[in-house]
Structure 1
Amino acid sequence: MFLSSAFKGVFQVYFNDLALSFERGRSDFGFVGGVFLLVSGLASPMVGALSDRFGPIWTVLIGSVLGGGAFLLLGLLPHQYWLFVILYGLLAAFSLAAMTFVPMGILVDRLFDQRNKSFAYALITNGTAIGFIVLSPFWLWLQAHFEWQQVFFVVGLLFLGPLALLFWLGARVPLPAKESVGHIQEKRVGTWPVVLRDPGFYVLAFGFFGCGASMAFIDVHLVPLWRDAGVSRASMGMSLSLFGVLEMISGLAAGWLALRFSQHRLLAAFYVLRCLAMSLLLAPSGIVTTYVFAAVFGASYLGTVILTSAICLDRYGGAVKGQVFGMLFLVHQIGAFGSAQLGAYGYDRLGSYQATVMVLAMLTAIAGISSLFLSSVAFRRTQSEFN
C-alpha cells in the first residue's frame, strides 16, 4: 500500500509537466487520470475474483510486475500520447487495483478474526497515508530536479525487480485455509440477485461514488489547483505530509471506533467531514486554509473505505465479500473518472475548479445523509438470505 501510492503520486506531481511535454492541454491529461481511475475500478471485480481464487498475495505480485513494466516502458519509449494512455491509463491502473484495497481486504479476512478485521484493515491501508507523509514531499523534490521520464523509469525498475521478488517470496507462504469450496459455492448461489434486491447496497454504492469522486479530484487536480493559487512548493509538501498524518490517524481511529459504535453512523460522520473539507476549497487560498483543508480531508480519507469494507463484510459475508466489495469499488472509480473529467473540463471552460468543488461538496453531503438509513436490522436480514 505504501509503495503502490507511487503510481498516483508521480502522476499528480508531474501533471503539468506531462501536459507540456506532450504538448497537450490540461483536459487531455485529466482524461488520462480519469481513465486510470475508471480502469482501476473496472479491474476491481476481476481483482476480487483473482484474490478469492488464487490468493491476495499472488494478485499483488501480478500487479507489481505489470505496473513495473508499464512505468519502465513509459520512461523509455518516445512521447506518444495514446501510448501513455494505454500504459498508464490501462496497465498501471490494473496494477494499482491488484495491489491495494480489494486484495488487502481479502488478506485481512483470511488472517484475522471477525472482531479484529476492521482495525487490521485500517493498519494495512495506512500504507497509503505513509505514502502521503513520506513520498509526496519526495516526489515534489524530484520534480524540481529530474525529468518525469527518469522518475518513471526508476519506479518501474523498483516494482519489476526487488518488490516483485519480495511479493513472490510472500506468496509462497501458506495462508490460513478459507471456507471449503462446496460451502463457498453454496453461498454464492443467488448472490447477485440478493445483493441487487438490498437497498443498502445502493446506499453504499452512492456513498462510495461520492467518495471516489472527491478522492480523484484531490489525486488529479489538487496540486495544479494549489499551484494556480500561488501555494509554495514547501507549503504543498508540508500540507501533503499533514494530509498523510491525519489520514493515518483517522484510518486507525475508524478501525478502533468500528469495534465500539454503529458503523453506519460512523460512515455518515466521515462523509460529512469530507463535505466540510471540500467546502474549504471554496474559501480564499492562504497558508492557513491550505493546512486546515489538508487536515480535514486527511481525517476523512480512509474512514469511508474502511467502514464500507467492514459493512460489506457484515452484510454479505466473507465468501462473496471480494466480489461485492470489488463491485462497490468499481462504482467508486466511476465517480473518480467523472470527477477527474469534470475538473479538467470545468477548468478549461471556466478557468477555475469552483463549480466542480461545489458538486463534490453536495455529493458527499448527500452520501452522509443517506448512510444514516443503513441499519443493523437490514444487515441481519440480508445475511440470513446467504446462509
Structure 2
Amino acid sequence: MNAAPSSRSVTYLLIAIGFAAMFASTAIKGIYQVYFVPLAEHFGQGRAQFAWSGGLFMLATGVMSPVVGALSDRVGPLRTVAIGAFSAGIACLIVAVCHQSLVIFTVAFGVVGAFGLAAMTFVPMGVLVDRLFEQRKKGLAYAVITNGTAVGFIVLSPIWIWLQPQASWMIVFASVGLSFALPIAAIVWLASRLEPPTHSAESIDERKDEPSAWVVVRRDPVFYILATGFFGCGATMAFIDVHLLAHWQDQGVPRLEMGYGMSTLGVLELLSGLASGALALRFDKHRLLALFYAMRSLSMILLLTPGVGVLPFAVIFGASYLGTVILTSMFCFDRFGNHIKGRVFGLLFLIHQIGAFLSVQLGAASFESSSSYSSTIMTLSLLTLFAAALSWIGLRGKASKSDGTTQPNRATLPATKTN
C-alpha cells in the first residue's frame, strides 16, 4: 500500500468508477442467463450439453482470479478493470460475429469473457478499497462499491428479460461488446491514473522477503474454513445465474413475476451489502457470516416449497447475497499480508468458482435425468447449512493476522487515509 489520493473527492470518484464498473459487469452474465435456452437451441444443444459453456465460464473465472489478484497487486486495480472490460467486450463481439460456431462461443465467452468478468469485479475492487481506506472503514467501503452488482441486477435484469423476445442474442451480445471494449474500458483506464501507486521502492524491497500466497494459506486453517464456505457461496450463486430462470419457467412462473423476483433480489442484495459492512463494525464477523450462510440455505429450501411464490426466495437469498462476499473479504484483508492480499483473495475466488462450475453441471445433469432441479437445490441447501455451522464454530476470534504474513509498517502504510 502506498500514498492514497490527497483529495477526498478523488477517492470518492475512484469508488464511483469502481461502482459503475461493477454495475456494468452484470451484463456479462445477465445476457447469458436470459438467453441461455435460446442459445442452447441455436447451437442445437440440450441444456446439459450447453451448460458446459456456462460451467467453463464459471471455472475459468475462478482460475483467472489469482491471476487478476496478482495483476491488481502489480499494475493497480483500475488498470486491471480496464483490461477486463476490453477483454469482455472483445469476447462478446467475437461470439456475435462468429455465431455459427459453438467452439468459438465456448472459448471466447467461456475463457476470454471469464477473464473480463474476474478482472472487473470483486478481487480488484477489494484491492482498490484496501488501498484507499483505513482498516475500520474497509468493510463498508467494499460494500458500497460492490453494490454496483446489486444495482445492476435491479436495473438491467428486467431489461434483458424484456429484450429476450424482442431482439436476437447476436444483436444484444454485439451491443454489449461494443460498450465494454470502447467507452467503458477507456474511461476506467483514464481513471486509473488517479489511483494510488502500486508500490514504493522500499515496499518492493520488503516484498522480496514475503512468502508466497500459497505458502501462507496452506498452513492456515482459517483459509480452509473461508474456502469451504465460499465454495457453497459460489455454488448457490451459479445456480441462480444459470438455472434459476429455467427453473421458474419450468414451474410456469409468469415472465412479469420473474422480472419482479430478479429486481427484488437485486434490491435486497443492495441492502445486504450495505448492512453487512455496517454490522461488521459492531458485531462479530464470524456470527454474521454464519447467519448469511444460514439464510442462503433457507432460501434454497423456499425454491422447493409449493405455493410461496418467487418473492420470499428473492428476499432471503438477496439479503444474503453480498454479505458472504463482503465478510469473507474482510477476514481475508484483515488476516493476510499487504503484498499477498490480492492473490489470497484470488485463491478464495478460485474455490468459489469451482463450486460454481460443479453447481452448473450438477443442475444440468439433474434436469436431464429427472426433468427437475430439486435434488440440486436440496444439495445446495445442505452445503450452505454446513458452511454456516463451520463459520460459527471455526472462525471465532480468527480475524487477526496469520503467522507468516507481514504486519503493516509505516513504510508501507499510506501517508493519508480517507477518514
TM-score class, shorter-chain normalisation, is over 0.9
Q: Which deviates more, 236-245 or 73-82?
A: 73-82
Residue in 2 aligned with 1:181?
A: 204
CA RMSD between the two structures: 1.4
Q: Which deviates more, 76-85 or 118-127?
A: 76-85
Structure 2 stretches lacking a partner, 5+ long: 1-21, 408-419
Letter in 2 for 1:99: M
Residue in 1 aligned with 2:248?
A: 226
The percentage of aligned residue pairs carrying the same residue is: 54
Kindly indicate whether the alpha-carbon contact (under 8 Å) linking 1:110 and 1:178 is maintained by their aligned counterparts in 2: no
1:308 maps to 2:333: no
Residue in 1 aligned with 2:81?
A: 60
Report the CA distance shift for 1:245/1:361 in structure 2 as closer, same or farther (over 3 A): same
Residue in 2 aligned with 1:11?
A: 32
Matches within 5 A, 1:20-31: 20-31=41-52
Kindly indicate whether the alpha-carbon contact (under 8 Å) linking 1:44 and 1:97 is maintained by their aligned counterparts in 2: yes
Letter in 2 for 1:204: L
Residue in 2 aligned with 1:94?
A: 115
Kindly indicate whether the alpha-carbon contact (under 8 Å) linking 1:110 and 1:176 is maintained by their aligned counterparts in 2: no
Q: CA deviation at 1:182?
A: 2.1
Letter in 2 for 1:325: F
Residue in 2 aligned with 1:151?
A: 172
For the residues of structure 2 that align with 1:319 and 1:372, how far apart are their CA atoms?
A: 29
Q: CA deviation at 1:385?
A: 5.2
Q: CA deviation at 1:381?
A: 6.2
Kindly indicate whether the alpha-carbon contact (under 8 Å) linking 2:216 and 2:404 is maintained by their aligned counterparts in 1: no
Structure 1 stretches lacking a partner, 5+ long: none
Residue in 1 aligned with 2:271?
A: 249
SS of structure 1 residue aligned to 2:305: coil
Kindly indicate whether the alpha-carbon contact (under 8 Å) linking 1:123 and 1:251 is maintained by their aligned counterparts in 2: yes
Q: How big is each residue's C-alpha offset from its partner over 1:173-227, in whole Å with a ceiling of 9 and x where there is no partner? A: 24266562123333x2254333211111111010000000000000000000010
The counterpart of 1:380, out of the listed 395, 400, 418, is 400
For the residues of structure 2 that align with 1:205 and 1:377, how far apart are their CA atoms?
A: 17
Q: How big is each residue's C-alpha offset from its partner over 1:301-342, in whole Å with a ceiling of 9 and x where there is no partner? A: 000000000001111133211011100100000000000000
Letter in 2 for 1:304: T
For the residues of structure 1 that align with 2:138 and 2:331, how far apart are their CA atoms?
A: 11
Residue in 2 aligned with 1:350?
A: 370
The counterpart of 2:148, out of the listed 127, 130, 133, is 127
Matches within 5 A, 1:63-78: 63-78=84-99
For the residues of structure 2 that align with 1:199 and 1:83, how far apart are their CA atoms?
A: 41
Matches within 5 A, 1:332-343: 332-343=352-363
- Report the TM-score when normalising by structure 2: 0.89
Letter in 2 for 1:185: K
Q: Which deviates more, 312-321 or 203-212?
A: 312-321
Report the CA distance shift for 1:81/1:317 in structure 2 as closer, same or farther (over 3 A): same
Q: CA deviation at 1:383?
A: 4.9
Kindly indicate whether the alpha-carbon contact (under 8 Å) linking 2:78 and 2:195 is maintained by their aligned counterparts in 1: no
Q: CA deviation at 1:249?
A: 0.1
Q: CA deviation at 1:351?
A: 0.8
For the residues of structure 1 that align with 2:207 and 2:113, how far apart are their CA atoms?
A: 31
Q: CA deviation at 1:160?
A: 0.9
Letter in 1 for 2:400: R
Q: CA deviation at 1:164?
A: 1.4
1:328 maps to 2:352: no
